[in-house]
Amino acid sequence: MSATSALQSRQKAAVPQGIATKVLYAVRAENAELWDVDGKRYIDFAAGIAVLNTGHRHPAVVQAVAEQVDAFTHTCFHVAPYESYIRLAERLNAITPGDFAKKTLLVTTGAEAVENAIKIARKATGRSAVIAFGGAFHGRTMMGMALTGKVVPYKKGFGPFPAEVYHAPFPKTFHGIDGTGAMEGLRQLFLNDVDPARVAAIIVEPVQGEGGFYIAPFEFLRELRALCDQHGILLIADEIQTGIARTGRMFAIEHAEVAADLVTMAKGLAGGFPLAAVTGRAEIMDAADPGGLGGTYGGSPIGVAAANAVLDVVESENLTERAMQIGNLMRERLEDVARRNSLNCIGEVRNLGAMVAIEFVKGRDSRQPDSALTSAIVSKAQEKGLILLSCGIDANIVRILAPLTIPFEQIEEGLDIFEAALAEVTTSEPVALRA
């Protein structure tokens, strides 16, 4: 029995099936490469779901964490605060969009950041309703699930959810919903379901993550900002997957030249260590009474040390520009594959920086999702040494989230594997990879 098979059996006996995983057990990783327990090497086009924007084990992050471990590992910020938390808060206040005073709360996970953003918005406005979007993903906590606009697998069987959460259509140009249609959906929501005077916040992903890497049109985000201003609603930008240089800006909403009232971030913030944040207008962040925010592990000194190092790396290695280069390279190559694909199964290639998606359909004219083909491609790619993820309401989209530090030759190697996997799945003929 292989080491992988043995661990798979142990996992089945010890870990709940609700924790879905790949059959791939890691023992070592470096930048954009990962090795499993059987010694197989993979190119990592997942980056821990956009966590490893600075790659596996970036030397600067490893050094910062080692130095912090030597100093202290935990005091609880409520009990004995530390300078590094304050410094990171100052840095996030400075780099998030908006020319106004800001403050930052550090927590542990993206879902926790979202929960706190909603708490803060409700306290600051005295209102209770919240609007999210169809296809959104905001976490697996109860409020996170309520905000999430995808039932299977995230919400099925877990209700009831917190009240006064509403969903509007998200712009999906490929499926006929443009920014104008999405704005009309919000107006209909105000007419049919909720008085805008009761709405505390609208939360939006500038690029939907789990929902399918659909990019919110920049004009739509500007109109959303204006709508919020008109009705006294706070705008929350969920930058948990899009933030920290992933889209070619530090935060994706910058592409639209829009400033949100509150920004949630996690994933890429601390280079593989659990840390999340809510940054927002100072007067809004100060709405909660002392003791109303925080948590035992919130702003862990280990995660904070890693995050300060990550921000240094993003700047010193110009990872925002590199994200654009990676995205352009991948899109050009994948669009060429789509043009040459005789089966007409690639409906659209889209990207914002290094958030890259390939949507698979049963025919470009019908645009019917092909989840079976998508699953087969992801499996075949893994078999050949490439880690890919799927996403979307219909699980018919391959998303690529390579580390922003990946060497360009490994991008080409990974795309070669993807193209070979696509060819084998669609033709049932083995494809030899270039040496």
Q: Any idea of the CA torsion for 47, 49, 54, 55, to the nearest 10 degrees?
A: -20
Q: What's the pLDDT at 431?
A: 66
* Phi and psi at residue 324, to the nearest 5°: -65, -40
The 3-state DSSP class for residue 111 equals: helix
CA distances in angstroms from 364 to 174, 344, 359, 369, 375, listed in the order given = 10, 6, 10, 10, 18
Q: What's the pLDDT at 1?
A: 81
Asked whether this chain's domains 3-57+318-427 and 59-316 adopt the same fold, the reply is no
Rounded to whole angstroms, the Cα distance separating 307 from 273 reads: 8
Strand 165-168 with 129-133, pairing:
parallel
The 3-state DSSP class for residue 113 equals: helix
Q: What's the pLDDT at 356?
A: 98
Longest dimension (CA), the chain: 64
Class of domain 59-316 as given by CATH? alpha beta
Q: What's the pLDDT at 142?
A: 97
Rounded to whole angstroms, the Cα distance separating 281 from 276 reads: 17
Q: What is the distance in angstroms between the CA of the first residue and the CA of the last residue of the chain?
A: 29
Which residues are registered as beta bridge partners of 360?
346
Can you say whether the dihedral through the CA atoms of 88, 110, 26, 302 is positive or negative? Answer: positive
Residue 427 has a CB neighbour count (10 Å cut-off) of 11
DSSP letter assigned to residue 369: B
List, as one string, the DSSP characters of 141-187. SHHHHHH----TTTTTT-----SSEEEEPPPBGGGTB-HHHHHHHHH
Answer for the pair 286, 103: CB distance below 8 angstroms, yes or no. Answer: yes
Residue-range domain boundaries for the chain: 3-57+318-427, 59-316
Q: What's the pLDDT at 433?
A: 72
Strand 199-204 with 262-265, pairing:
unpaired
Q: What's the pLDDT at 340?
A: 81
The 3-state DSSP class for residue 349 equals: strand
Rounded to whole angstroms, the Cα distance separating 159 from 179 reads: 31
Helical residues (DSSP H) of 15-72, grouped into ranges: 47-50, 59-71
Q: What's the pLDDT at 307?
A: 98
Q: Give buried/exposed letters for 164-184 (b at 16+ CB in 10 A, else e).
A: ebbbbbbbbeebebebeebbe
Q: Give the CATH number of domain 3-57+318-427.
A: 3.90.1150.10
Q: What's the pLDDT at 432?
A: 63
Answer for the pair 179, 163: CB distance below 8 angstroms, yes or no. Answer: no
List, as one string, the DSSP characters of 323-346. HHHHHHHHHHHHHHHHHH-TT--E
Written as tens digits, the pLDDT of the chain (435 aa) is 899 999 999 999 999 999 999 999 999 999 999 999 999 999 999 999 999 999 999 999 999 999 999 999 999 999 999 999 999 999 999 999 999 999 999 999 999 999 999 999 999 999 999 999 999 999 999 999 999 999 999 999 999 999 999 999 999 999 999 999 999 999 999 999 999 999 999 999 999 999 999 999 999 999 999 999 999 999 999 999 999 999 999 999 999 999 999 999 999 999 999 999 999 999 999 999 999 999 999 999 999 999 999 999 999 999 999 999 999 999 999 999 998 866 689 999 999 999 999 999 998 888 999 999 999 999 999 999 999 999 999 999 999 999 999 999 999 999 999 999 999 999 866 666 765
Q: What's the pLDDT at 364?
A: 80
